Structure 1
Amino acid sequence: MLKTFKAWLRGSRLEWIDEVPKFGDQQIQVHVTFLENEPALEAKSRGRRMAEILNNLAKSQTLNVDPVAWQREIRQDRSLPGR
Structure 2
Amino acid sequence: MLQTFKAVLKGNSIEWLDEAPELGEQSIPVHITVLEETTGLDAATRGQKMAEVLERLSANRAFSGIDPIAWQHEIREDCSIPGRDE
Q: So what's the TM-score if we normalise by structure 2?
A: 0.40
Q: So what's the TM-score if we normalise by structure 1?
A: 0.41
